[in-house]
Amino acid sequence: MYHYNDFDTAFLAERNAQFRAQVARRIDGSLTEDEFKPLRLMNGLYLQLHAYMLRVAIPYGTLNGAQMRKLAEIAERWDKGYGHFTTRQNIQYNWPKLQDVPDILDALAEVGLHAIQTSGNTIRNVTADHFAGAAADEVEDPRPVAELLRQWSTDHPEFQFLPRKFKIAVSGSPVDRAVTKAHDIGLRMVRNDAGEPGFEVIVGGGLGRTPMIGKVIAPFLPKADLLPYVEAIVSVYNLLGRRDNKYKARIKITVHENGIERIRALVEDRFTAIKAQFAGFDQKLLSKLEASFAPPAFKTGNTKGYEAARLTNPAFASWSDTNLSAHKADGYAIVSISLKAHGATPGDATADQMRVMADLAETYAHDELRISHEQNVILPHVHKSDLPAIYAKLREAGLATANIGLVSDIIACPGMDYCALATARSIPIAQEIAERFDELKLEHDIGPLKIKISGCINACGHHHVGHIGILGLDRAGVENYQITLGGDGSEDAAIGERAGPGFSADEIIPAIERLVLGYLDLRDSADETFLQAYRRLGAAPFKAVLYPEQAKQDAA
């Protein structure tokens, strides 16, 4: 993985010193809140319901053991002993005190981490497929490109005051695990007819109050053109994007209002104008980055121990059925560590758990960890012979829940338990759904099902692309939950359709139970997933189980 050079280290030290001085001037009253707020946001510091919140960037979701251990230390020393991994592959601390934040940022800098551009109208942390560099189905590891974009976008003088925030996601696989079609720019690695790698460039996707699936602006962009082309897109948006209305300021609206053809023409013009300025420097840098992301030295060895453990330990067999994915190297697997124990807060890990994961990465997984947008942690490179030992350690730490991709592997934003923007709570709904389906012991029968919960219309919980989406609202001073159906964040991306009237906090868990049990009756076989059944049958039979009274009236 990428290690900071002297330039990165010096840049970060200078930024942290600047922010330390800004905090001091805020505390002594020299800066007003209006003056300080944009400065703190540029450094990832929010003020939420109960406390400040520091959002730390985890570039393209990649960490090593030392970095994870530092995140644990910060959680213990300056927070309440845990951290919250987010749908943007970041980590949030919910309880820092203002005067401690400069020390926290210095601690992060010791391991090459920061909180720059995790807020504000800038290019945010670039996200990537959490199986990058490991997936069996990959064209190329997308992380060198993601790191190139990180370096280019960090403190880019032209793009510090965009009309609105700007999110880029990169995937190296045909299977889209990075939700590229719901980003301002989505990059999907593909090969052309000559077999050369390049990108399908998608622009103008996004969730929030106006959800849109991104449109293809370039079906095949040669790899060498990537940086000038992305710069051209952001540059066109910077001038054309609306600054008169916050709710119409994202590039999805710019694309929608101007049409993809006009945007494409403007981007092509700008690209032609600036391409020569890059003069190959970006390609030299990229080839260096590619070297730093070279695959680790995979070991060889037999996997008999793994096979034997599967036969003798049913719990291990169940976990390995659910939480492992295909790796490109023989004898290897990708391990997804669930941060969704039934009844726990989705995405939260204690400092002790973080240290266990850091140890496992260092001992067994070539010192690599990934954070997924689904709020789980990945050990990307594990030889199968090490799986029984890893499982035992995870189990001791409460990290061996066998539910990846199942009904209790729920994405949930922090909601009104923490967030100042939220209109309702998300976490308790996720906890109760997971506990209920654990009681029913149906999780594995139900099979792949993505439930995603947002506590407001801004959709940090990706509810629009949940197979079942739940949106928490404030209806006349009471929490109310709307259900959407049929959303999909994959390469077949789709926005879910609203099922009907919302449910109260007491009604929503039984409603989800009716819906899922209804699906079990509706599916044509155990192999037909919830989403497949929904696509085959349409919304009507699902609405009928959600709203039985209405269905009775309609039938009468």
Partner 1 sequence: MPRAFTPKVVTANHLLEGDVIYQTPTGWTRDLAQAEVLEDEAHADLRLLEATQQRDVVVGAYLAEVEPTDAGPRPTHFREAFRMRGPSNYSHGKQAEL
Binding site for partner 1 (CB under 8 A): 26-29, 32-33, 47-52, 80, 94-99, 345, 348, 416-418, 425, 427-428, 431, 474, 477-479
For the range 220-223, what are the long-range contacts, defined as Cβ-Cβ under 8 Å and sequence gap of 24 or more? 220/190, 220/192, 222/196, 222/198, 223/145, 223/196, 223/197, 223/198, 223/199, 223/286
Tell me the closest approach of the beta carbon of residue 40 to partner 1, in angstroms: 10
Closest CA to 340 of 453, 184, 507: 453
Nearer to partner 1, 28 or 439 (CB): 28
Tell me the closest approach of the beta carbon of residue 106 to partner 1, in angstroms: 19
Q: What angle do CA 276, 277, 283 make, to 5 degrees?
A: 85
At 125, list the tokens.
């942390």
The number of residues in the chain equals 556
Nearer to partner 1, 39 or 274 (CB): 39
Nearer to partner 1, 282 or 417 (CB): 417
Block residue for tokens 């100042």: 420
Backbone angles phi, psi at 401, to 5 degrees: -65, 125
Nearer to partner 1, 428 or 496 (CB): 428
**Which SS3 state, helix, strand or coil, does residue 524 take?**
coil
Backbone angles phi, psi at 333, to 5 degrees: -140, 160
Tell me the closest approach of the beta carbon of residue 133 to partner 1, in angstroms: 33
At 385, list the tokens.
């012979």
Judge contact between 499 and 484, C-beta under 8 A.
yes
**Which SS3 state, helix, strand or coil, does residue 425 take?**
coil
Judge contact between 58 and 147, C-beta under 8 A.
no
Nearer to partner 1, 97 or 536 (CB): 97
Tell me the closest approach of the beta carbon of residue 382 to partner 1, in angstroms: 31
Tell me the C-alpha distance between 350 and 366, whole Å: 23
Tell me the closest approach of the beta carbon of residue 96 to partner 1, in angstroms: 8
Nearer to partner 1, 47 or 539 (CB): 47
Tell me the closest approach of the beta carbon of residue 475 to partner 1, in angstroms: 11
At 315, list the tokens.
């719990």
Nearer to partner 1, 394 or 416 (CB): 416
Tell me the closest approach of the beta carbon of residue 541 to partner 1, in angstroms: 34
Nearer to partner 1, 48 or 303 (CB): 48
Helix 304-312 with 314-323: angle, nearest 10 deg: 120
Q: What angle do CA 131, 452, 202 make, to 5 degrees?
A: 55
Contacts of 322 (CB under 8 A, 6+ apart): 402, 403, 404, 405, 406, 444
At 208, list the tokens.
């929030």
Tell me the closest approach of the beta carbon of residue 76 to partner 1, in angstroms: 15
**Which SS3 state, helix, strand or coil, does residue 62 take?**
strand
Tell me the closest approach of the beta carbon of residue 288 to partner 1, in angstroms: 41
CB-CB neighbours of 460 under 10 Å: 24
Closest CA to 342 of 435, 414, 432: 435
Nearer to partner 1, 476 or 555 (CB): 476
